[in-house]
Amino acid sequence: MLSDLGLHTVCQSAQCPNQAECWSQRTATVLILGNRCTRNCRFCAVAMGVPGPPDADEPRRVGEAAKRLGLRHMVITSVTRDDLVDGGAGHFALTIAAVRAEAPETTIEVLTPDFNADEAGIATVLDAEPEVFGHNIEMPERLYVGIRDARFRYGQSLEVFRMARRMRPEGWVKSAFMLGLGETDEEIRVTLCDLRDAGVNAVAIGQYLSPSTAHAPVREFVSPERFAAYELLAYEMGFRFAVAGPFVRSSYRAGAIFAERGSERGCHAD
C-alpha cells in the first residue's frame, strides 16, 4: 500500500530492524519531503543529495495511507531540507492536517529536523497540534565532531526543545539517542540531564548499528542489562516515558507513550 501511494518510510530508508513489530501494531513512520538529505551524518543510512521540490500532493497521500492502513499511531519525519526557506515546516503542518482529515482517530507524532533553531518553523509545526513533538539529539555532545554533519550542533538541538516546551507548556516533547559510538556512562547521564533541563519528557535509547563499512564503526555493543539500567535512570531523572534496548529506535513503541508510567520532575531530583 505504501508503494502504491508513492510514500517513503524511515522504517525502510534507515533500515530499521523493527519494521515487522511496529507495522503489526499499526504504527508506521512516514518520511516526507523526499528521500535525500541535505546533510551528511556518518551514522545515517539515508542518502545525502539534492532533494527535489516538495511534492504538493504528498500530504494527501500520507493522510490516505493513515486511513487505508488503519494506523493507530503515525510518526511523521523528514530528511533535513536546508534548501527550503522554512526547512519544510509548512509541509509538516499540511501533512498533519491531512492525517487529521482522513484518519481522525490516528494519533500523530512528529520527528523534525532542527530547522536551524528557527522559532517560526517550530511554531508552524506545533500550531498543527501533533500529540508528540520530537527531535533527536542522537548522541552525547563530544561525539558530534566527526560523526554528525557540522551544521548539527548539540546546543542548537537543546534550544529546539526549549522553544518547543515554551510553546507547549504541557504535553509530549521527545528525543532519542544511540549508544555504541564510544560514549561514557557519565556522558549518557549528562545527555539525559541536558534533555530534561531543556523540557524533554520522553526519551528512547538504542544501539547504533553501522549501515555499511563506509559509515562510522560500532565501538561497542551495549548489553541489555546496561540498557535496562539507563531506562531506569531516565525514569529516576523524571522522564514520563523512557524506552531503552539494543533494537530501540526513536520511533520504537511510539504509540506506547500514551501509557506512560513516570512522574515528571527535575533530573537532579533524589
In a domain, 268, yes or no: no
Q: What is the pTM of this model?
A: 0.90
Residue 189, C-beta contacts closer than 8 angstroms, at least 6 positions apart: 233
pLDDT in tens, 125-138: 999 999 999 999 99
In a domain, 2, yes or no: no
Crossing angle between the packed helical segments 185-197 and 224-237, to the nearest 10 degrees: 30
Distance (Å, rounded) from C-alpha 8 to C-alpha 3? Answer: 8
pLDDT in tens, 136-193: 999 999 999 989 988 999 999 999 999 999 999 999 999 999 999 999 999 999 999 9
In a domain, 86, yes or no: yes
Pairing label, strands 202-207, 241-245: parallel
List b or e across 67-82, with b for residues whose CB sees 16 or more CB atoms inside 10 angstroms: bebebbbbbbbbbbbb
In a domain, 266, yes or no: no
Pairing label, strands 8-9, 27-32: antiparallel
Distance (Å, rounded) from C-alpha 233 to C-alpha 231? Answer: 5
Q: How many domains does the chain have?
A: 1
- Say which residue the cell 500514551 belongs to: 258
**What pLDDT band is residue 47 in, cutting at 50, 70 and 90?**
confident
CA angle, 177 then 117 then 258, to 5°: 50
pLDDT in tens, 232-265: 999 999 999 999 999 887 765 556 666 666 677 7
In single-letter form, the type of residue at position 29 comes to T
Cβ atoms of 26 and 70 within 8 Å: the answer is yes
Q: What is the pLDDT of residue 24?
A: 61
- Which CATH number does the domain housing residue 189 bear? 3.20.20.70
Q: What is the pLDDT of residue 2?
A: 67
Segments forming the whole domain that contains residue 105: 8-259
- Say which residue the cell 545527555 belongs to: 191
Distance (Å, rounded) from C-alpha 263 to C-alpha 241? Answer: 9
In a domain, 163, yes or no: yes
Given a cut of 90, whether residue 12 has pLDDT beyond it is no
In a domain, 47, yes or no: yes
Distance (Å, rounded) from C-alpha 12 to C-alpha 110? Answer: 17
Element (H, E) at 193: helix 185-197
In a domain, 71, yes or no: yes
In a domain, 270, yes or no: no
